[in-house]
């Protein structure tokens, strides 16, 4: 079995030829407190809050090892190292705040949000948590956006009906239905795992999308699958809404999670550990280490102590205890029930803010770097007029004009987007072109109008399907 965080295209996985078509939700009974009595109306009301997240990443790697057939190490072609990936997300505030998984946007130098109406906006990464696998994005829209409503994940029960929304395999917005299969799952993503398991179909590309309950409220953020293949086998996992809200609220307010800390390492008490300690019941979390001068040491907590209660309740396991500690207000006095040498004691201690430098080593997002763009000449496109005697062979008949691409600079935006030597530029924006000068005039006009992109209609030299293709090329600076 493998645990897959899902995005597309897939790396080192089987062919995408097995991609499934978009799913539709069926067989979900309406309830009195649903929107009306029609599930399609409920779905229609929440889908505008779901978005597709498209990112571009520079995956250039340098290797000191030369190919056996090469006389010297060869640097990689930057044009082949910029990859596009697709994930999902949802709007959490009308001002343009969007949540997705961190692994969707990790190392991305460009982030584009695609809304259900087809409109697109560039997004910037406000902050993220690697441990929680959550990222907070911001778009600048000219109108308030429809935000999803959070549900209470603490009220979720096994057997509850749910539906997932997202962008599986980059096919576009799709839905799938199922039930909550289990709660408090630990797939060892982090020391705090408390995942909702669902059999609602989740695939690569669904990362960051919402898991809705039947009232149309978000009770989870879809984050991972476990499968022996590259597709869903009914084991999907979502970060509970309450945990996600805690992390996202901290990211928005502080720029990092800012958890509380007492300076201990904990381990779940197993039957073997309980037997070794002479405990009558298998319960609690045993202290494996106490950091010097931390709150725990100052309060008298010692290695080998077993923590059985936090305040007035019993945590289900050491992960739950760690979550309780981390989410406590910084500076709050907490009480722990501690079993030591067969006797229970109460210890009170004051939490501290987790040392920021230590936390950032585990959790801070990695700064993305834009690839170095080589631009000789403008946009990296070398152009020439189409020789008159080749127009017919190139498909330029019946008075059709165009400009030939004689070379594309490695690492340039046109190269990253797939333009190649031998392509023919037919139009720049809505204007037909016949000379390199006319192409440059179209680029200059787009810049004069303060556009970030110029649109070129290109007849590819190698055509997978007949006809030309539009290419949006970067001519300005975006917010992504």
- Residues labelled as active-site residues: 103, 133, 207
Question: Judging by beta carbons within 10 Å of its beta carbon (0-12, 13-18, 19+), is residue 135 exposed, middle or buried?
Answer: buried
DSSP letter, residue 32? T
Locate 370 and state its tokens.
Answer: 């834009």
Query: Helix or strand or coil: residue 404?
Result: strand
Cα atoms in the 13 Å half-sphere on the side-chain side of 84: 11
Q: Residues 210, 165: contact at Cβ < 8 Å?
A: yes
Give dist(CA 443, CA 378) in Å, integer. Answer: 9
Helix (H), strand (E) at residue 64: none
Q: What is the DSSP letter of 422?
A: T
- Give burial (CB, 10 Å; 0-12/13-18/19+) of 34: middle
Instruction: Count the Cβ atoms, other than its own, within 10 Å of residue 230.
Output: 20
Q: Where are the beta strands (DSSP E) in 201-312?
A: 210-213, 217-227, 236-240, 260-261, 264-268, 285-290, 306-310
Cβ–Cβ contacts within 10 Å for residue 289, how many? Answer: 11
d(CA 392, CA 375): 31
Tokens representing 30 are 């309406």
Residue 146 CB neighbours (<10 A): 15
Instruction: Tell me the CA distances in angstroms from 36 to 67, 153, 177, 296, 305, one per residue in order.
Output: 65, 23, 19, 53, 55
Q: Phi and psi dihedrals of 416, rounded to 5?
A: -65, -30
According to DSSP, the residues that pair with 382 across neighbouring strands are 407
Give me the torsion for CA of 98, 104, 110, 115, rounded to 10°.
-40
CA-only gyration radius of the chain, Å: 27
Sequence-distant (≥ 6) Cβ neighbours of residue 365 within 8 angstroms: 102, 106, 125, 127, 128, 129, 130, 135
């Amino acid at each position: 079995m493998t645990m897959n965080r899902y995005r597309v295209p897939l790396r080192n996985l089987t062919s995408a030829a097995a991609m499934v078509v978009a799913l539709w939700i069926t067989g979900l009974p309406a309830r009195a407190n649903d929107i009306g009595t029609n599930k399609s109306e409920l779905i229609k009301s929440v889908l505008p809050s779901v978005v597709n997240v498209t990112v571009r990443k520079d995956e250039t790697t340098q290797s000191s090892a030369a190919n056996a057939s090469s006389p010297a190490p060869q640097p990689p072609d930057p044009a082949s190292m910029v990859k596009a990936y697709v994930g999902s997300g949802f709007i959490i505030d009308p001002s343009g705040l969007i949540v997705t998984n961190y692994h969707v946007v990790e190392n991305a130098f460009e982030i584009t949000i695609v809304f259900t109406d087809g409109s697109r906006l560039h997004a910037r990464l406000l902050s993220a948590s690697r441990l929680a696998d959550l990222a907070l994005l911001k778009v600048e829209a000219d109108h308030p956006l429809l935000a999803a409503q959070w549900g209470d994940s603490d009220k979720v029960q096994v057997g509850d009906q749910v539906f997932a929304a997202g962008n599986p395999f980059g096919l576009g917005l799709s839905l799938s239905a199922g039930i909550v299969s289990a709660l408090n799952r630990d797939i060892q993503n982090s020391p705090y795992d408390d995942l909702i398991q669902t059999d609602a179909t989740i695939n690569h590309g669904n990362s960051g999308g919402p898991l809705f309950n039947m009232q149309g409220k978000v009770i989870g953020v879809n984050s991972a699958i476990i499968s022996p293949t590259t597709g869903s086998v009914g084991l999907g996992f979502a970060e509970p809404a309450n945990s996600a809200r805690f992390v996202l609220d901290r990211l928005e307010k502080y720029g990092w999670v800012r958890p509380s800390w007492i300076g201990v390492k904990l381990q779940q008490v197993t039957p073997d550990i309980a037997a070794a300690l002479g405990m009558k019941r298998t319960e609690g979390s045993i202290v494996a280490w106490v950091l010097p001068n931390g709150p725990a040491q100052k309060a008298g907590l010692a290695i080998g102590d077993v923590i059985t209660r936090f305040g007035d309740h019993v945590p289900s396991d050491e992960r739950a205890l760690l979550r309780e500690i981390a989410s406590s207000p910084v500076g709050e006095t907490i009480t722990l029930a501690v079993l030591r040498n067969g006797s229970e004691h109460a210890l009170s201690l004051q939490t501290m803010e987790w040392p920021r430098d230590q936390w950032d080593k585990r959790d801070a997002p990695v700064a993305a770097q834009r690839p170095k763009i080589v631009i000789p000449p403008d946009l990296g496109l070398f152009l020439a007029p189409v020789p008159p005697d080749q127009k017919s062979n190139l498909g330029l008949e019946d008075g059709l004009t165009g400009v030939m691409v004689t070379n594309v600079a490695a690492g340039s935006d046109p190269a990253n987007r797939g333009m190649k030597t031998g392509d023919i530029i037919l139009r720049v924006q809505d204007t037909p072109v016949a000379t390199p000068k006319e192409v440059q005039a179209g680029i200059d006009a787009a810049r004069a109008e303060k556009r970030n992109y110029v649109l070129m209609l290109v007849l590819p030299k190698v055509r997978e399907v007949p006809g030309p293709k539009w290419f949006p090329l970067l001519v300005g600076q975006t917010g992504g």
